[in-house]
Amino acid sequence: MLKITIITIGKLKERAFLELENEYLKRLDPFAKIKIVEIPEIPYKKEKDAARARRKEADSISKHFTPGSLVVALDVKGKTISTEKFANIMKSQASTGRNVIFVIGGSTGLDETIINKATWLLSLSEMTFTHNFSRVLLEEQIYRAGTIIAGKIYHK
C-alpha cells in the first residue's frame, strides 16, 4: 500500500475543490494511506516580502519531512511524465514501504530550500495551475496510479 503525505500551503476553501478532494481520498482508500498537511500561507504585502514568506513556509514544510522519504516538489521547472511512468514510480515506492511526500507551494511557489531538499521535481503540466487545482489534480493522478497498480482499467 502506498504511504503518501501531501504537504500544501493554504487550505482548500472552495466547495468544489473540497468535494473533489473528498471523493478522491475516498477512492484512494483501498490503494493508499494519504495524509494531508496544510501549512498556513504567510501573508505579505509587497513583492519583495514574498521571498521572506516562502522561507518561513519552507521552515514549516521541512518539519514534516521524514528520513528516508521520497520528497517530490511540484514545480514548474520539474519534469513532466506519463501517467504510466508515475504509476511505476508509485509502485516501486509501495514495494519499499517508503513514504512519498508531495509538496505543493502557495501562490508564489516554493522556496529554493525545499526545491534543493526534494528528491525529485515534478511538473503536472507545462501550463500553470492554482495550488488548489494542483492539489486535486495530484490526488486524481495518485488515484489513477493506484488503479494501474491494481490492474484496473480506470486509466484507459
Q: How far apart are CA 27 and CA 25, in angstroms?
A: 5
Task: Say which amino acid occupies 4.
Answer: I
E-strand stretches of the chain: 2-9, 32-39, 70-79, 99-104, 120-122
Residues at the binding site are: 74, 105, 124-129
Instruction: Please report, in range form, the residues annotated as the binding site for S-adenosyl-L-methionine.
Output: 74, 105, 124-129
Angle between helices 131-149 and 83-96 (to 10 degrees): 70
DSSP H helices, 32-130, are: 50-62, 83-96, 112-117
Contact present, 103 and 74 (Cβ < 8 Å): yes
